[in-house]
Amino acid sequence: MKKPEHHLLVCASFRLGGEAQGVCHKKGSASHLGYLQSELADRGLDQVTVSATGCLNVCDRGPAMIVYPQGDWYGNLGSTDAIDAVLDAIESGTPCEKHLLT
């Protein structure tokens, strides 16, 4: 496997016991995983990997995602439009200021 250019870590709100709880899960972050995979394929972004994570501890601003190697944290990603904005930013090489957590 070739090292990906970007790695998207999507908060799936998993806790130590393995169960999903929390705001990101309740706001549909798990469904974002499938949408991201599909959208990445449609855009030809085959050097981007997506992974679900445990709780990222930004529940008040969820659903949340981290983009590496930039280390950009994004929040309030409750819609496909918001996710598309982050993917547009990845393609352009600039952060998506609207959803950037600071």
- pLDDT tens string, the chain, 102 residues long: the values are 678 999 999 998 876 666 656 788 888 888 889 999 999 999 999 999 999 998 898 988 989 999 999 999 999 999 999 999 999 999 999 999 999 998
Specify the pLDDT at position 16.
66
**Predicted TM-score of the model (pTM):** 0.89
Query: Do the beta carbons of residue 40 and residue 48 sit within 8 Å?
Result: yes
Specify the pLDDT at position 21.
66
Specify the pLDDT at position 24.
86
Specify the pLDDT at position 27.
86
Specify the pLDDT at position 35.
94
Find the helix or strand (DSSP H, E) in which 56 lies. none
User: Helix, strand, coil: what percent of the chain each, to 5?
Assistant: 35, 25, 40
Distance CA 27, CA 62 (A): 8
Helices 29-43 + 80-92 axis angle, to 10 = 40
Specify the pLDDT at position 44.
95
Which domains are present in the chain? 6-92 (3.40.30.10)
Burial of 34 (0-12, 13-18, 19+ CB in 10 A): exposed
Burial of 86 (0-12, 13-18, 19+ CB in 10 A): buried
Specify the pLDDT at position 47.
94
